[in-house]
Structure 1
Amino acid sequence: MEANNLKDIIFEKILDSIDVGVHVVDSNGMTIFYNRKMGEIEEMKIEDVLGKNIREVFSFHKNGDSTLLRVLKRGTKISNVRQSYFNNRGQEITTINNTFPIDKDGALIGAMEIARDVTKIEKMIRDNILKGDTRYTFDSIIGRNDALLEVIEASKRATRTNSSILIIGETGTGKELFAQSIHNGSSRSSKPYLSQNCAAIPDTLMEGILFGTKKGAFTGAVDRPGLFEQANGGTLLLDEINSLDSSLQAKLLRVIQERTVRRIGDTKDVPVDVRIIATINEDPIDAITTGRLRKDLFYRLSVVSLFIPPLRERKDDIEELIHFFIKKYNHLFRMNVAGMEKGLMLRLMEYDWPGNVRELEHIIEGAMNLIDQEEFITSSHLPIHLRQRPQFRKEEMNLGAAKEEGKSLDAFLREAEIVFLKRSLGQHDGNITRTAKSLGMSRQNLQYRLRKYNIRADLR
């Protein structure tokens, strides 16, 4: 293989592996290279774009044009330009582009574009998906643990004022549930409630989302209100506030203190009346010490501080939560699961729940996806990472002494065999060959037993 050909192969392999879109056209606007990521961004098959003119495949807004074609026309680089256009199925795509001319011996022979996808972010802003679903109230909070009840009572008292609130709690403890409950219990309940996860958006876009933009502030900028203006009169929840860049935290502090906001590129301040609720998923002192949270912002936000206890500190609520989630997914899945095996319930009480209430809900949802004809959730329905823990490795052959009273030996053995087969299948992700090998039987024998008991191999 010639050295030049090898270089071309390596070059194409690298471009096809990077996590930004790359689109290269010749001087006539015909696509000569289109990488995998670009196909993902534009939801296009590579073969539908290669060898075709850009205008054959994509369409643009009125008075708009491809940044690649603009570079071909002007012969100069275009940097950090926002572009919205449509693929061949009419789906709107929005990207931030850096586009370069390609020269050879002084002649323009093509153009290359490097694109970052902001389609989902643009759609969130435009469709106002950032607006929270405020269905939760204090009645939605499940549990009777003393520490939890104390937080609920403090939260109810906080509904009477407009002071900023900092909710502190590990991931999955239900911080947004408390934020929505406070909003719905306050005098602002008829006004907007907006929620934004600060870790979900890059810092380069977050400032515009929070404070808004003015047309002409930068290439592609349009007049758009930020979250503060959209939430005027209501409540703004800033989730994971410690994920914000320090400079943005400083700008946020100014807006909270002065109760005015200035859009990017604007010269005038707009008064806003917004109650701020912020959340943090770590000890705020640790966040301040390591520089992830500004001390002055912490003091401004923590006028009211609420500490949500993790599930491992309120294990007396686990049984009530399990019954609530079983009822919820019975309704959603149109099932009729009666409950959970008592022995399993006790073992779940011993678990530390690093993912808190959210992890418990996901485990119940997953278990109910695996149930076939059973009346109760058992260990065989748990995800494999839980079943491998010591407290869940106990034999499931004992289906409960009280439950077995009055049963014939044949009925008991039949149910025990069903449980054992399902557990073995689950441990091998439903793979017949591996399961049969672990049980010391042939594939045919195992398949016969699965058909006999109407057990699906695709348990997962």
Structure 2
Amino acid sequence: MKTRLKEIIAQYPFFFDILKTIDAAVYLCDNNGRLLYVNKAAERLDGYTNEELYGRTVTEIYGLDEETSPMLRALTSEKPLEDISFRYDVNGREIYQICNARPIFLDGKKFGAYTIQKDVTHLMEVIERNIRFQKEMFSPVGDSEGFGIDSLIGEHPLFKECKKMAIRAAKSDSPVLLTGATGSGKELFARCIHQNSDRNKGPFLAINCAAIPETLLESILFGTSKGIYTGALERKGLFEQAEGGTLFLDEINSMPLVSQSKLLRVLEEKEIAHLGSNERIKVDVRIISSSNTPPQEAISSKQIREDIFYRLAVVNIMIPSLAERKSDIFLLANHFISVFNERFQKHILALDDEVLGFFLKFPWPGNVRQLKHCIESAMNFVTDEDLRISKDHLPVYLFSIDNAANHGAQGSSPPKEPVDRNRESKPPEPESTGVFSAIVQKEKEQIIKALMENQGNVSKTAKQLGMHRQSLIYRIKKYKIT
């Protein structure tokens, strides 16, 4: 066999040169499961050289057999295996791989088998670390602050209706599907629903279905059994870890349709089974999911199975984009300014009227998340003497997006001049001043009303208005409220 392998290497030297340089680990065995060749990536991964492994069996080195080794399964079944995920132990390390395995035939006779494996150990460690972090820092959410309904900031009629639906949804255990563009606040809605529900003493765990490879998603959701591979540990999936609480499946429209069918079964039967096991395990978990694609579009494009859509969308909350509720920009901006004032030890009072006018015209493709990051960026450039965020403090990329949007809408509009952070701010334009003054007057009236309701108690008023106490004091002085 060794002679034959040498002949093959001599015949196809370029092929083995390619195998030496690729990042994926490649293993080749004979008809008896004895290793004939591993490439450099496999040597780095397992800590053995090609010479050390030659002639030794997969079972001897890795403790794998025909059930647990994809390569040996391909060898005995004489059929290819696609995107198989499995774990094994080697040199005191647990390795998690996704692999493709094939039998090898030469001159019509079976020669052996090979497998090409992608190491996802680090990815799994990151995912598991993220889950642990969520459990430690955010669960039970009922014992933490910051995710009440008041954290859903906005007074636009469309957004207020979404908040009402969220409050109602919190009173039941029905599945909720949150629909909205990326950055519109879907996870915040999910956390608020959980915290205001009877499950708020249980865990809240979230996972982004788009960020997990298809072959790993099911093991993360449903867990693995000891028998799925040699030396495996019994691992609980997210359904078991979220027992008594809420599981948030973000971007459910990115979940493979096969996995969606298994999820549907879980929703119907309230049971899961670990991968590699037939034992059914009862679970008590509320499902909240989200989609960044409108429902009918997701169904027609086969991103979401129609049957699971109706099961997940018992309550369907369609969150408007920031462009659809621009009247909330002032409230949101002031909230983020308060947050970053505290974080950066700054004393910014508000946006200046030119920036507010610009924000009201801006398309906000990144929604509320983009507004938050924009305010954070500006807070890095304001000085101790600044009281307002001006255009000179804003990230330059905003003006490229605005120019593109205006150019698309107006056709021949000339591009605006890039912002110079060192240039003095232009005086406010009259029309934006009018808009700003009206909104300022409204905020002043809200503060006066809240102060009266709380008999002048600043702390209670700040809590009612959803702002920090120091920020309220700034506004009281600014508006000369006595």
Smaller-chain TM-score range?
A: 0.5 to 0.7
Matched, 1:399 2:425: yes
User: Which blocks of at least 5 consecutive residues in structure 1 are unaligned?
Assistant: 55-63, 103-110, 404-460
Counterpart selection for 1:353 from 364, 367, 377: 364
Q: State the Cα deviation string for residues 224-245 of structure 1 (Å, max 9, x = none).
A: 2222222221111111111111
User: Which blocks of at least 5 consecutive residues in structure 2 are unaligned?
Assistant: 1-8, 29-34, 54-58, 75-83, 105-112, 407-414, 430-482
Counterpart selection for 1:386 from 398, 418, 442: 398
In the other structure, the counterpart of 2:132 is 129
In the other structure, the counterpart of 1:273 is 284
In 2: Cα distance, 1:38 partner to 1:242 partner = 38
Worse overlay, 229-238 or 367-376:
367-376
**Residue 250 and residue 395 in structure 1: after superposition, are their counterparts in 2 closer, same or farther (change >3 A)?**
closer
Counterpart selection for 2:233 from 198, 214, 222: 222
Give me the CA root mean square deviation: 4.5
In the other structure, the counterpart of 1:368 is 379
Q: State the Cα deviation string for residues 82-134 of structure 1 (Å, max 9, x = none).
A: 456699xx9976444679999xxxxxxxx997432322443256443374634
**Residue 245 and residue 221 in structure 1: after superposition, are their counterparts in 2 closer, same or farther (change >3 A)?**
farther
Q: State the Cα deviation string for residues 424-446 of structure 1 (Å, max 9, x = none).
A: xxxxxxxxxxxxxxxxxxxxxxx
Counterpart selection for 1:34 from 35, 40, 43: 40
Counterpart selection for 2:191 from 173, 180, 193: 180
**Residue 50 and residue 319 in structure 1: after superposition, are their counterparts in 2 closer, same or farther (change >3 A)?**
farther
Q: State the Cα deviation string for residues 131-166 of structure 1 (Å, max 9, x = none).
A: 463452212112221211111111111111111111
Q: State the Cα deviation string for residues 304-326 of structure 1 (Å, max 9, x = none).
A: 11111110011011122122222
Q: Is the 8 A contact 1:214 1:266 kept in 2?
A: yes
1:209 partner amino acid: I
Q: Is the 8 A contact 1:173 1:310 kept in 2?
A: yes
Q: State the Cα deviation string for residues 14-49 of structure 1 (Å, max 9, x = none).
A: 8646x635699xxxx9x99636x997xx6x9xxx99
In 1: Cα distance, 2:360 partner to 2:201 partner = 40
Worse overlay, 192-201 or 264-273:
264-273
Q: Following superposition of structure 1 onto structure 2, how do residues 278-427 of structure 1 map, counting pairs within 5 Å?
A: 278-371=289-382, 375=386, 376-388=388-400, 389-390=402-403, 393=416, 399-401=425-427
Matched, 1:138 2:144: no
In the other structure, the counterpart of 1:20 is 24
1:34 partner amino acid: K
**Residue 265 and residue 21 in structure 1: after superposition, are their counterparts in 2 closer, same or farther (change >3 A)?**
closer
SS at structure 2 position matched to 1:163? coil
Q: Following superposition of structure 1 onto structure 2, how do residues 30-109 of structure 1 map, counting pairs within 5 Å?
A: 34=40, 67=62, 82-83=86-87, 94-96=96-98
SS at structure 2 position matched to 1:216? helix
Q: Is the 8 A contact 1:130 1:194 kept in 2?
A: no
Q: Displacement, 1:402?
A: 7.7
- Paired positions, count: 377
SS at structure 2 position matched to 1:190? coil
In 2: Cα distance, 1:38 partner to 1:345 partner = 59
Q: Following superposition of structure 1 onto structure 2, how do residues 167-206 of structure 1 map, counting pairs within 5 Å?
A: 167-206=178-217
**Residue 121 and residue 10 in structure 1: after superposition, are their counterparts in 2 closer, same or farther (change >3 A)?**
closer
Q: State the Cα deviation string for residues 318-352 of structure 1 (Å, max 9, x = none).
A: 12212222222233334444443321221111011
In 2: Cα distance, 1:183 partner to 1:402 partner = 44
Worse overlay, 271-280 or 383-392:
383-392
1:378 partner amino acid: S
1:399 partner amino acid: S
Q: Is the 8 A contact 1:81 1:219 kept in 2?
A: no
In 2: Cα distance, 1:302 partner to 1:83 partner = 36
In the other structure, the counterpart of 1:264 is 275
Greater percentage in helix: 2
Q: State the Cα deviation string for residues 35-88 of structure 1 (Å, max 9, x = none).
A: 6x997xx6x9xxx9999979xxxxxxxxx9865999xxx9x868757456699x
Q: Is the 8 A contact 2:149 2:192 kept in 1?
A: yes
In 1: Cα distance, 2:394 partner to 2:90 partner = 44
In the other structure, the counterpart of 2:444 is none
In 1: Cα distance, 2:284 partner to 2:63 partner = 44
Q: Is the 8 A contact 1:168 1:283 kept in 2?
A: yes
In 2: Cα distance, 1:208 partner to 1:145 partner = 41
SS at structure 2 position matched to 1:142? coil
2:119 partner amino acid: D
* TM-score of the two chains, using structure 1 as the length reference: 0.67
Q: Is the 8 A contact 2:85 2:96 kept in 1?
A: no
**Residue 38 and residue 384 in structure 1: after superposition, are their counterparts in 2 closer, same or farther (change >3 A)?**
farther
Q: Displacement, 1:223?
A: 1.6
**Residue 208 and residue 68 in structure 1: after superposition, are their counterparts in 2 closer, same or farther (change >3 A)?**
closer
